[in-house]
Each structure stands twice: as structure tokens, then as C-alpha cells.
A and B are shown apart, each in its own frame.
Chain A
Amino acid sequence: MNLAAADNQSLADLSRVLILSAMAVYTCAFVAHIAEWVFGSRSRVARTAAALAPKKKSPYTRPTEKETEAAAGAGTTVLEKPEVVTRSALGGRPDLPDGTGGGAGGDEQGDVYGRVAIALTVLAFALHAAGVLTRAFSVTRAPWANMYEFSITFSMVIVGAYLVLLAAKKNVRWLGLVLVTTVLLDLGLANTVLYTESDQLPPALDSVWLWIHVSLAILCGGLFYLGAVGTMLYLFRDSYENKLEQGGKPGGFATSVLERLPSAASLDKFAYRINAAVFPFWTFTIIAGAIWAEDAWGRYWGWDAKEVWSFITWVAYAGYLHARATVGWKGRKAAMLAIVAFLCFLFNYYGVNLFVNSLHSYSGV
């Protein structure tokens, strides 16, 4: 018994060390990303500006490199895969070229730093995941009983999802800097304000539904976060494109940064896909919570603060999905809704856990 306790304590200490090391490596990744963006600013390929500048004809008449490629490639050899030409649906802005390669924006040295940053992120993620795992072993349960544990798992999910998208060859390198910054903030908070010694679970939390409800909530939160970053950047990039379209001249800094992002349409699509895909899981998270509440407290829904804010978040995301199908709400307004929805999620996590008197106050601080 005592031996086991000592064992657990050393595991918990190891977990802490692993998380702190992960933070150190994330910090290096952060520096590398900064270098990537700084070097990237040397390249000035203002392709968006070129595609949008003379407003009337250009987007429709000017063949981009890709078009020519597509035309030349169409059905040349028998064995080759059919070339499918895509275009956006009628209306709206023409497809603009996406910035690729993240902050490097085509600059070679920047690209090297970007790759270094990714490699460091992978390493940090490994340490991070090991930290979460050892924490789980040290408490011999799922590591989701207080805000420290939620936080370290939450950022692990974010980085994990990002790396999966990278591995699937999606164009997500632009996420890197924001992501690493957030993860550092999150882990910093977790290790200072929210830190709690590892321990067992109070009986009210001890249920299979813990696994289902809490793990899903963390997963949904991490993915919603990625969606929210996409939406934020969409809003910036969209203003930029609007300005160009109206013949305006955005500032040098805005141009330098925003040129390296994917087009507004791509960012919007990225955010929509994530949010839409997560929404059913978020719905299930709430339902699982209701089932658990029924078992633990004798009612499946009691308008407890946490429940209220989960509901608000849910309705806000449903509103976002609706808005995208509602004339006059598409685009920026829908994007604002998505941001509001994510803020509701965040408030539910930090606000309700720390400041509101709730049955769900398991912050451990």
C-alpha cells in the first residue's frame, strides 16, 4: 500500500518533469516558428493581390499556373488518373491561390526553420503525451479529474490533431505558430494556477461515463479550438481580400502575414469542416453527460451552470451551422457566431469551473 503510494508519487513527479520538458521543447518550436515567419517575410509573392487587383476582369480571365496545368494535363495518357477540374460554386469570389508552406511563404531558409519547428513540435508532443500517460498511471485512472489534468490533455489533443492533419498532407502549416503559442499558454496556466497533486477520484466522478463524457468533451474542445483559429484567420484574411477587391491597399505587414495564409475560402472551409464534424460529437457529449447526471444526481437535466453553458455552446454552434445556410448570414456573420460559440465553450471551462458555484466545480484549485 505504502509502496504503491510512493511509486505513484514518483510517477506523478515524473509526469510533471515530462510536461515541463515538453514546455521547454515547445518553446524552442515557438522560436523556430518565429524565425520561419521572419524569414518568410522576405518573400513577397503577393499572389492574392495579383489575382484580385484589377477588380473586374482579372479573376475570371487570368489563367493561374494551376489552370494551365490542369488544362495541359487533361487526359494525356491512358493509365493516368482522370483530371478533375474543380471550381467554386456559382457566385462569391473566385478561388484564390492558397498560401502554402506556412509562415515560410516560399522562402527557403524560412522553410527550413518551419520544418525544424514541426520536428520540435513532434518531439514536444511525445514528451507531452508521455506526461499525460504517466499522470494517468500515477492516479490509476483516466487523467481527467481536475483542471490541471483537463488542461494538459486538452493541449495534447490540439497538438495531436494538428500533427494528424499534417501527416495527412493537409495544408495546415499556417496553424503552427498560433498553436504552439496557445499550447504554451495553456500548459503555463496548468502548471502554475491550476496545478493539483495527483490523487484519486471523488466517488461522484467515478463512472464509465467519465471516460466517455469527459474524454469527448476534451476532444471536442481541442478540435473546436482549431476551428476557431481557422475562423479568426478567415476573418482577417477575408477583410484583406475585400480590401484588395475594392482596390484598397492593405498595409505592408498585413500583406506580408496574410499572403502566407490560405485563401479566405479555404480557411472558412477548414473551420466549417471541423466545426460541422465536431458538432455531432459535442451533441453526444452533452447526452452522455445527461445520462451520467441521471445516475449520479437523479435528474438528467437540472440547469446547473455547467449544463447551461454546454447547452449555450451547443445552441451557438447549431446557430452557426444554420447561419451558413441562411441568406444574409453566410460568411462573416456566421464566422462571428462560430467565434462566439467557441468563447462560450471557453467560458464553460474556465469561467464556470473557477468562478461560478456549480455542482460541476471539480477544478481542484
Chain B
Amino acid sequence: MSDTTDSNGTSGSNGAGDTDGTAGTDGTSGTGSADVTARTGSSAATDSGSAEEATEAAAQSQLSTAPVEEAPSGPKLSLFGWLRWFWRQLTSMRVALLLLLLLSLASVPGSLIPQRNASPFRVAEFLQNNPKLGPVYDRLQLFDVYSSVWFSAIYLLLFVSLIGCIVPRTWQFVGQLRAKPPKAPSRLKRMPAYTTWRTEAEPAEVLGGARKLLRGSRFRVADGEGSVSAEKGYLRELGNLCFHLALIVMLVAFAVGQLWSVEGGKLVVKGGGFANTLTQYDDIKSGALYDYDDLDGFGFTLEEFHSSFEESGPERGTPRDFRADISYWEGADGPEKKASIEVNEPLTVGSSKVYLLGHGYAPVVTVKDGKGDVAFRGPVPFLPQDGDPNLTSQGVVKVTDYQDAKGKKEQLGFVGIFTPTYGIDEVRGPHSTFPGMKYPAIFLSAYRGNLGIDTGLPQSVYQLNQRGMEPFETEDGDILRQSLRPGETMDLPDGAGSLTFERVERWATFQISQKPASGWALGGALVAIGGLAASLFLQRRRVWVRAYAGGDGRTVVEMASLGRSESAKVPEELGTLAERLRAGAAPLPSAPERDADDGPDDTSDHDDSVGPSADDDGPRRS
């Protein structure tokens, strides 16, 4: 009794290499083929025990294509030996796991430190506020985590590991598809699920019935001596392989999408237009391999912009709806088509997508010079201040072509804010109290001098470079400031001219992007999910049926099954199969236990005489 139990115990922990002694609910998984090698070397088992265990190990082998685990011992010192060792390590489950953990760890800093890609301003701010730490971070590429050398290194290694793992597994799987289910282990009773009964039917008859039953249940069936082996659930393995292959496809698609992508932004005032060429963009960035000649040829005009906001309640002012109505054309001058773009509904033209990103107000002003001639007329987009839901906006009216009353050439700048719904208080000064246009006003101060546009330095259209400018002053010596309602005019002192606030126009910002291989990424993702579902929900399992003449001349039928990982479904299925098999091999009432348990080649195994449960590791009924 004790020798089988002991050998069972030792070989169990041997085979699984399970030194931490935890309950290996997944005990058979991933180590099937390792078991064989580990066991043959096991000297703990008695001779008869090891033979039996070999069949048991064989019964479990090749139930998955997981790579054989090797101890992380050093290689022999040849170059080839090193390479081989390195490759083995790289493609092992352990290293894949470590790489996965590293990858998640490496993603963390990018979520906590501002990223150049997403918020360049916050990066600049960070650098300014942390003069010591900032440059260190910068050197460590912590502002560009997801394109950093170290992040790329991890995922490239994972990628190589993935390929190195998946290719051999695929071959192995093809081999398994051709092979027959392994023959029945000598002691079926030791399989994870087991059932037995005695019947009047002849063994051959029972086995024939079993074969038919299992084939009918879409098992792959092979005949053994006095037994039938069957296997099912290859789809699980296939699913797992597809999942990992799909990961590769997705990774490649991401890379392609990055390298050949282009993304630009454009602010368009209502009535204004845009043509998709490099020079028209306000800002544009592209992947390393993108060629700007490949921009899709199209253009559009912003015909109308609608917005609505919550009018009342605690979330008064929360945006409800934005819509840009445009007309667009493809090619140089294709036919005009109408379309609307909403926040979640981009327009697709060719391989480009046009998104509605933001919106705001552009006061339309007329500036007259000292001679009374119009020096400037048009809408000037004002930009909403960061984080103000009520769209208090800042902007500058720049007048480059101006002469004062005496005919002296100069430039004018009007700086200030626009409020769609004007309000003022002590703390904030003039500000907007609602994002919709209920009471629009602008609040401007006027400057004269040199705008500095010709210096060649890049300059924001939304900011005034005050270096070459001096403010107009009122009679009391204050800086000239004035708030205007539509239709009102601000006169500059000494007949220097005037600015009239005519009305307000809307503007919208659009993002135009081209990202190739998105379809591949999506396809890969869907296959990955399918594969994953098959891999996690299906069971690969084996069923054996043995029938032989027992001591009293009656036939003993034994059935056992084994799943790749433990699942309640496997014993359940065995029960159902047994029930159906019993239809043609009706069970007899209970008989002395030993008949039911001693198999024909089990004669050396006397310990069973105590009872069926005596040497079991605590069997349960399910």
C-alpha cells in the first residue's frame, strides 16, 4: 500500500517540479512533456511503479504545446552553447513572464510623469519647476516613455520571445494533430476522474460501443489492447496559438501605424476653408517613415457650427452637443459634398479621418487707421483659456499695415479677452459665466510699435510680443483698456484710429489623421479575443475506456478522463459518457470491490485489496 502512495507522492512533486508544495490545480498543465523526463530519472519509484508511472506520464504528455522547462543552469562554454542557452532562456515561459511583468512596470512612469507626446506644455512646465530633476528625467527619456530605448527594448524582446515560442509550438501542434491519442494507462483509477461498473455485456461489445459513442461525440479515437483511447478539444490549443499569433499581428500593426502615421491640426473659422497640404496646417507631426507627398488630396469649408450647453441645474454650462457642417471635395476640385462632423463621428475621406476637436469664438473687428482707412477687417480667433469651461478666451488683434494720423507707418496690437457671456468680479476681473453666447463682450488694451513679426522668430498668433510695443494711454496716464459689446467702437487717443467690434463668428479645430494598419490592429484584436476565449473556455481532455473479464466472469468496465487543467466539466462529461455507454452495457448491482478495481495487468498491485479508496489521494464524488 505504501509504496505506490509514496512513489505517487514523490513523482508528483518531481514531475511538476512543484517545490513550493502548493496545490497544483493546474498541475498537469504546461509540464506534460517535462514529466516524462523527470520521471524516468526518478529513482524513488519502485520498478513496477516506474513502469506504471511511465504509462501515466505518457497519458499526460503532449496535452499542450507549452515549452519544456529547463533549469536555468549555465551553458557549456562554447559560443554556440551560449547562443543556444540564451535562445532557450529567451523563449522560455519564465522569461516571457518576467518580460510581461517588466513591460507593465515600465509603463507606469508614463502615466505619472507628463509625456511630451500628449502634453508638451506640461513637460515644459515640469522642466521649469524642477531645474534639477527635469534634465535627469529627460536623459532617462521619462518624458517619452513609450518611445524610449528601454521601453522599446522590453517589447522587442517580448516580441522575439513570442515568435521564438510560437513557431516551435505550432509545429508541435501539427505533430500532435497527426498523432494518435496515447494508450490507456494501466491504472485508470489514478486519473483525475474515474468510474467503473460491471456488466453482462462482452468486453469487445462494450469497447465497440465506446468507440462509436466517442466518435459520435467528436472525439478522436484510437484502439488499444482491451481499451479505447480518445481525445478532444484540440481547438483549445489552436485558440491559444491563434491568440499569440494575433498578438504578433497587433504588434506589427501598431508599429506600422506609428511609423507611417501623420496627424495635424487646423483651426477653421466659419466660412473659411482648408486644403489638405502641408503648408495649410497649424501644426503637424508624422511618423518616422511618413512622406508628406502622401497626404490625401481633399479640402473642406466650414459652413456652420452648432453647439449647445446645459442651461440650468448644477451642471449648467456642460457641453451637450457640437456639430460642424462642412462641404468637402476630393482631389483638386472634385464635386462638393455635404457632411457633418460630430465629436464621436469623424468624417472619412480617402485614408484620412477628420475629427472635430475643439471650438471657440472669433470676434470680427474692423480697425481704422489715423487717416480713417480700414487697416484690418476680419474674424480673429480667440483661444479658450486652459480649463475654463465657460470659454473665457484670449487673443490678439494684430494690425501690420497701419499709419497714424501723421502718416507714420507703425503696427498695432490689441490684446485682451473675449467672453461669450460677460461677467466681472473683484477677484477674476472680466470673465465669462457661461460657454454659450448670451452676452458677448471683448475687453481690450491697445498697443503700438513693432509687432516683431519680421524678426524671423516664430511667434504665436495668439500672443503679443510686448518688447517693441508700448501701450496707448488715456488722459490720466492709465493704459487704455475698454470693454466692447458688438457694434461698439473703441477710439484710440489723439485720432490714432479706432477698433469696432462688429459681431462674433464661430471657429472649430479639426484634427486630420492618417493611420495605416488600423484594420490589421482591429482584425488582430478580434482574432486574439476569439483565440483567448477558445483557449480559456475549452478543455483539452482525454478519455479512456477499458473492458475486461473480471474474476466472476462478468465484464468490468472502467472509464477515466484527464483534462489539461482541472475543470469540473471533465468529470461531468465522463459521467454523461458513462451513462450513455451503460445504455448498451447495463450495470449490475454492486459486487465485491476488488473485482471492480484490479485491472488485468494490475496483479502486482496487491495493495488495492484494502478497498478502492485506500490508496487514493482523497477522491471526491462529483
Residues of A within 8 A of B (CB): 5, 51, 57, 59-61, 63-64, 66-78, 81-96, 197, 199-200, 202-204, 206-207, 238, 242, 245, 263-265, 268-269, 272, 276-277, 279-280, 283-284, 287, 290-292, 294-305, 308-309, 311-312, 315-316, 318-319, 321-333, 337, 344, 352, 356-357
Contacts and interface: CB of A to CB of B under 8 A. Distances in A.
Contacts of B522: 287, 291
Given A82-B582, A93-B23, 16 more contacts: A61-B2, A66-B620, A85-B616, A87-B192, A200-B315, A279-B536, A290-B525, A296-B343, A298-B357, A298-B511, A303-B145, A308-B107, A312-B107, A316-B101, A327-B69, A330-B16
Q: Which of A94, A272, A319 has the most CB of B within 10 A?
A: A319
Contact of A5 (B313, B588, B621): B313
Given A67-B616, A91-B13, A298-B346, A332 B621 contact: no
B536 A203 contact: no
A327 B34 contact: yes
Contacts of B198: 75
28 contacts: A60-B615, A63-B611, A66-B618, A70-B613, A70-B621, A75-B195, A75-B197, A82-B579, A83-B195, A84-B621, A86-B619, A202-B318, A238-B22, A242-B21, A264-B22, A268-B23, A269-B566, A277-B537, A292-B344, A295-B345, A295-B346, A298-B346, A303-B115, A312-B108, A319-B104, A325-B29, A331-B22, A331-B23
B81 interface: no
Interface in B94-151: 94, 96-97, 100-101, 103-104, 107-108, 110-112, 114-115, 117-119, 122, 145-146
A82 B194 contact: no
Contact of A200 (B31, B310, B590): B310
A90 B21 contact: no
Contacts of A57: 2, 5
B437 to A, nearest CB: 18
A88 B518 contact: no
Closest 9 CB pairs of A and B: A331-B22, A91-B12, A265-B23, A89-B27, A325-B30, A82-B578, A75-B197, A67-B613, A308-B111
A91 B22 contact: no
Interface of B is mostly: mixed
B5 to A, nearest CB: 4
A81 B9 CA distance: 32
A90 B529 contact: no
Given A90-B16, A312-B104, A315-B104, A76 B589 contact: yes
A156 B576 CA distance: 36
Contact of B15 (A69, A90, A93): A90
Contacts of A298: 263, 346, 353, 355, 357, 511, 513
Contacts of B1: 61
Given A82-B578, A85-B193, A303-B118, A94 B617 contact: yes
Q: Which of A60, A238, A297 has the most CB of B within 10 A?
A: A60
A69 B621 contact: yes
Interface in B330-377: 342-346, 353, 355, 357
A75 B24 contact: no
Interface stretch (B319-327, B397-405, B420-428, B446-454): B319-327
A332 B23 CA distance: 10
Contact of B310 (A70, A94, A199, A272): A199
Contacts of A199: 310, 313-315, 318
B442 interface: no
Nearest to A303: B146
B28 interface: yes
Interface string B589-614: 11001001000000000000001111
Given A203-B343, A312-B107, A87 B618 contact: yes
Interface string B522-543: 1001101100110011000000
Given A93-B21, A325-B26, A203 B344 contact: yes
A51 B621 contact: no
A77 B589 contact: yes
A277 B537 CA distance: 7
B574 interface: yes
A67 B614 CA distance: 9
B66 interface: yes
Nearest to A290: B525
B26 A272 contact: yes
A303 B155 CA distance: 15
Interface residues of B, number: 120
A324 B26 contact: yes
Contacts of A272: 25-26
Given A57-B2, A199-B318, A299 B263 contact: yes
B74 to A, nearest CB: 17
B20 A91 contact: no
Q: Which of A69, A78, A88, A284 has the most CB of B within 10 A?
A: A88
Interface in B276-314: 310, 312-314
A344 B100 CA distance: 14
B391 to A, nearest CB: 14
B618 A51 contact: yes
Contacts of A200: 310, 315, 318, 320
Nearest to A322: B97
Contacts of A268: 22-23, 25
A89 B566 contact: yes
B56 interface: yes
A16 to B, nearest CB: 14
A86 B622 contact: yes
Given A75-B198, A85-B194, A207 B344 contact: yes
A310 to B, nearest CB: 10
B307 to A, nearest CB: 9
Nearest to A305: B111
B195 A85 contact: yes
Given A202-B319, A296-B344, A86 B571 contact: yes
A315 B12 CA distance: 31
A301 B254 contact: yes
A201 to B, nearest CB: 8
Contacts of A90: 8, 11-12, 15-16, 27-28, 56, 190
B311 to A, nearest CB: 10
A202 to B, nearest CB: 6
Given A76-B590, A330-B26, A64 B618 contact: yes
Nearest to B56: A90
Nearest to B512: A298
B480 interface: no
A246 B419 CA distance: 76
Nearest to A265: B23
Contacts of B238: none
A325 B343 contact: no
B388 interface: no
B529 A283 contact: yes
Given A84-B578, A88-B192, A356 B319 contact: no
Interface in B530-558: 532-533, 536-537
A71 B20 contact: no
B21 to A, nearest CB: 7
A53 to B, nearest CB: 14
B587 interface: yes
B618 to A, nearest CB: 4
A264 B23 CA distance: 7
Contact of B315 (A83, A197, A276, A352): A197
A280 B536 contact: yes
B616 A87 contact: yes
A356 B111 CA distance: 8
Contacts of A330: 16, 18, 20, 22, 24, 26
A327 B17 contact: yes
A318 B20 CA distance: 22
Contacts of A265: 23, 25
B620 A197 contact: no
Contacts of B486: none
A305 to B, nearest CB: 4
